[in-house]
């Protein structure tokens, strides 16, 4: 009964969020965890699943105009695949301002994966969350995005998301294994 009463509230106040992996990542547990987390926070989630081709993500976002895209990778190729997919999203004028974040295992260098953060931000992500810490920064970023707002032109939405969350300074993570999920 609580779920039924929460649904109308989420429909009017939460964000429309797309959760996706990168094209090379076949893991699903991380995507399910993120979907459940975001839904519990009151957002509506479309989970595109594993091994999502770049063009499918672009077309889905162009057709549905979500408020946020969350890309998660645990196979160690997040930095490489992430740069490519965010370039495709940003190349679409109507998606240029869409807040897009990436998190998880961004490379195969353990603690050295932090070196990918600045490059991914420069490539067009609004925030990057490596796998070295908890979910606090991710919660803060999502919580800072406005809900129930009219759609703004691309560039205005994107710069607003960066300013709201201080995304360039985020060093938080989507440390999904800390939440008890397995690979």
Global pTM reads 0.76
pLDDT reported for residue 115: 76
User: So where are the chain's domains?
Assistant: 21-178
Class of domain 21-178: alpha beta
pLDDT reported for residue 39: 97
- Is residue 12 scored above 90 in pLDDT? no
Decide the pairing of beta strands 44-47 and 68-73. Answer: unpaired
Segment 15-72, tens digit of pLDDT: 999 999 999 999 999 999 999 999 999 999 999 999 999 999 999 999 999 999 999 9
Residue 38 to residue 16: CA distance in whole angstroms: 10
Encoded tokens for 130: 């490596």
pLDDT reported for residue 142: 95
Residue 32 to residue 145: CA distance in whole angstroms: 22
Mean pLDDT within 120-145: 90
Encoded tokens for 51: 């091994």
Task: For 17-80, give the secondary structure using H, E and C.
Answer: EEEECCCCCCCCHHHHHHHHHHHHCCCEEEECCCCCCHHHHHHHHHHHCCCEEEEEECCCCHHH
pLDDT reported for residue 179: 32
């Amino acid at each position: 009964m609580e779920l039924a009463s929460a649904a109308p509230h989420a429909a009017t106040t939460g964000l429309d969020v797309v959760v996706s992996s990168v094209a090379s990542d076949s893991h699903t547990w991380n995507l399910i965890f993120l979907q459940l987390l975001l839904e519990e926070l009151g957002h509506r989630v479309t989970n595109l699943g594993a091994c999502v081709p770049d063009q499918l993500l672009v077309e889905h976002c162009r057709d549905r105009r979500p408020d946020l895209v969350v890309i998660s990778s645990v196979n160690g190729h997040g930095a490489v695949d992430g740069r490519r997919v965010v370039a495709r999203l940003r190349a679409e004028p109507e998606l240029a301002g869409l807040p897009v974040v990436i998190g998880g295992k961004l490379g195969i260098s353990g603690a050295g994966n932090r070196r990918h953060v600045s490059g991914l931000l420069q490539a067009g992500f609004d925030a990057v969350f490596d796998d070295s810490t908890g979910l606090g920064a991710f919660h803060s970023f999502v919580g800072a995005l406005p809900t129930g707002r009219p759609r703004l032109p691309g560039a205005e939405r994107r710069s607003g998301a960066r300013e709201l969350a201080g995304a360039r300074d985020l060093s938080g993570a989507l440390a999904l294994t800390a939440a008890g999920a397995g690979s």
